[in-house]
Amino acid sequence: MTTLKSATIHTYSLATIRFFAKRGEVSKPGTGFILRRKDEFFLVTALHMLTGRHWKTKKPLSDSGFLPETFSLMLPYYKLTPPNRHGFRWVKYDIAPMSVDQGASEGVAPWYVHPRYREDVDVCVVPLSDLPQRLLDQEKAAGNAELSSNIYAFDWVNAPQLKTAVGDDVFVVGFPEHIRTAGEFPIWKRGSVASEPDLPIEDLPYLLIDAGTRSGMSGSPVVRRQPVGISTFGENSELSLFKSPAAELFGVYSGRFGADDITSQLGIVWKQDVISEIITTPTFGKSSLCTWLW
What is the value of pTM for the model shown? 0.87
**CA-closest candidate to residue 174, choices 214, 142, 137:** 214
- In the chain, the DSSP E strands lie at 2-4, 16-23, 26-37, 40-45, 70-81, 85-95, 97-98, 108-112, 124-129, 154-155, 169-174, 187-193, 206-211, 221-226, 229-233, 238-242, 246-256, 266-271, 284-286, 291-292
**Which of 202, 178, 180, 187 lies closest to 270 in space, CA to CA?**
202
CB proximity list for 95: less than 8 A, separation 6 or greater: 70, 71, 72, 73, 292, 293
Q: Give me the pLDDT at residue 105, please.
A: 59
Q: What are phi and psi of 8, to 5 degrees?
A: -110, 115
Give me the phi and psi of 147, to 5 degrees please.
Answer: -65, -25
Type and span of the H or E element at 139: helix 131-141
SS3 294: coil
What pLDDT was estimated at residue 102? 46
Nearest C-alpha neighbor of 222 from the set 268, 266, 177, 161: 268
Please tell me the predicted confidence (pLDDT) of residue 16. Answer: 96
The C-alpha angle 210, 216, 222, rounded to 5 degrees, equals: 45
For 184, other C-beta atoms within 10 Å of its C-beta total 20
Range 2-292: architecture per CATH: Beta Barrel (2.40)
Share of the chain above pLDDT 70, in %: 84
Q: How far apart are the first and last CA of the chain?
A: 26
Low-confidence ranges of the chain (pLDDT < 50): 100-103, 242, 289-294
pLDDT digits 0-9 by tens, 148-199: 889 999 999 887 778 889 999 999 999 988 887 778 899 999 999 999 999 9
CA distance 161 to 171: 16
CB-CB contact of 51 with 111 (8 Å) = no
DSSP state string for 74-110:
EEEEEEEETTTEEEEEEEEEEE-EEPGGGTPPTTEEE
Query: Structural domain boundaries of the chain?
Result: 2-292
Residue 15, H or E segment: helix 11-15
